[in-house]
Amino acid sequence: MGNIKNLKIENFGSIKQANIDISPLTIFIGPNSSGKSFIAHIIQCFNSRFDNYGDMFNEALNSTKYFDKRAEELFSKFSNQISKYIKDNPSLSSDPLKIPVSELKYLIENGILKYFSELFGDKIKKQFDVKNLDELIQFKKITLKLK
């Protein structure tokens, strides 16, 4: 299970800026309407989705509806290259498989990140009971550091 270790928030809901180290027991103390419950909701929202990194990544890769045409072609190309590499090198002792960084970056930015953006956007909307994320996010910046 992946757990959030550090949470940085800027301009999200009532919180203008926060940098919080999360431990097994983290207690939030503060005045009413200062964002304590809001932070707890954010932690719960993201921790509940990081239960299985492998399944989540596979789900992203198999959800090619988020990919534009080129990203889908690159994904297919990489899948074939990886399958062939493993078949031809069962011990994986030969030279490493080389994938151009620019192509991998394109695939991530134009496919995988769209999937995660929609996935977490929907989860945040449900968690905070809002119809539009613009009600919560001003500059759209949350940083998570995972274990």
Per-residue model confidence as pLDDT tens for the chain (147 residues): 456 678 888 777 677 888 888 887 888 888 887 778 878 877 776 666 555 555 655 666 666 666 778 877 887 887 788 778 778 877 766 677 777 788 878 877 777 777 767 766 777 777 666 676 665 554 444 554 444
Write down the residue that tokens 């695939």 correspond to. 107
Say whether both 34 and 77 belong to one domain: no
Residue 62 lies in a domain: yes
Say whether both 14 and 31 belong to one domain: yes
Number of domains present in the structure of the chain: 2
The DSSP line for the chain is ---EEEEEEEEETTEEEEEEE--SS------TTSSHHHHHHHHHHHHHH-S-HHHHHHHHHH-GGGS-HHHHHHHHHHHHHHHHHHHH-TT--SSPP---HHHHHHHIIIIIHHHHHHHHHHHHHHHHT-S-GGGTEEEEEEEEEE-
Say whether both 25 and 48 belong to one domain: yes
Residue 123 lies in a domain: yes
pLDDT for 146 equals: 44
Question: Which residue range(s) make up the domain with 70?
Answer: 55-108
| CB burial readout 53-80, b (16+ within 10 A) else e | eeebeeebbeeeebbeeebbebbeebee
Residue 113 lies in a domain: no
Residue 114 lies in a domain: no
Say whether both 47 and 92 belong to one domain: no
Say whether both 79 and 98 belong to one domain: yes
Say whether both 88 and 66 belong to one domain: yes
Residue 80 lies in a domain: yes
Residue partners of 135: CB distance under 8 A and separation at least 6 = none
Say whether both 126 and 86 belong to one domain: no
